Structure formats: structure tokens, C-alpha cells
Amino acid sequence: MSNRMITKRAQANRRAIRTRARMQGSPTQPRLSVKRSLKHIYAQLIDDAAGRTLAAASDCEVSGGKGLKPLAIATAVGKLLAEKAKKVGITQVVFDRGSNRYHGRVAALAQGARDGGLQF
């Protein structure tokens, strides 16, 4: 691994820590954490007080996702997570974008979660 990759990864970790320092997930208002890779997108609701995941969704669970564009898949993941959150009894969340910009697939996932009934 090159020095440049180590530096980029370290910078991403610092951005994520800086983002998470301003928020804390609770049982009533968990943290909606987003992980975005080149191929996939994942989201989970985390209760930081107990240190456990309350609900999770990914693009692997989206039905008919093969033919969709990446933004449509991210929106579907957000709606799926909102459905799972409603089953657990969660309506309010704190959005954690991690080291990603609030743009593109991350913003589409957030919009899908809002359309599904979650309040940020």
C-alpha cells in the first residue's frame, strides 16, 4: 500500500471522527450511520448508549435493484431502513454521513429515509 493511500484513509478517518463528535445516538433518537463504497451502500440505526444496532439496510436487500441506477437504489435503501425503523418504533434520528459529503448517493439515502417517515 502506498503512502498516499494511507494518508487518504487517515484523512477520511479524521473527517468521520469530527462528524461523529457532534452527535450521539440514543434509544429514542438513534444515529443513522451511512457507509458508502464504490459498489454498495449500507445504513444502520445505532444506539450509542447501549452500543448496539437497532436496524440495518443495504442495497443487497433491495428487491429489483439490479436494473436501477445508483441514486434510485440509495433512495430505496433509505425507504427500507425507514420501514424497519417504524417496526422497531423509531421516528426521530440523527444523520451521520461519516467521512462522505452530503451529496449524491448519501443525500439520496437521506431523502429516501425522509420519504419513508423518518425525521432528522
21-80 pLDDT, tens per residue? 877 777 788 999 999 999 999 999 999 888 899 999 999 998 877 788 999 999 999 999
Cβ burial of 79 (10 Å; 0-12, 13-18, 19+) is buried
Percent of the chain predicted with pLDDT > 70 = 98
Closest CA to 27 of 6, 5, 55, 7: 55
Predicted local confidence at residue 1, as pLDDT:
65
Task: Decide which of 120 and 66 is more confident.
Answer: 120
Domains in the chain with CATH codes: 3-115 (3.30.420.100)
Mean pLDDT of the chain: 90
| Residue 96 host element (H or E) | strand 94-96
Predicted local confidence at residue 20, as pLDDT:
80
pLDDT over 70 at 83, yes or no: yes
Task: Decide which of 6 and 14 is more confident.
Answer: 14
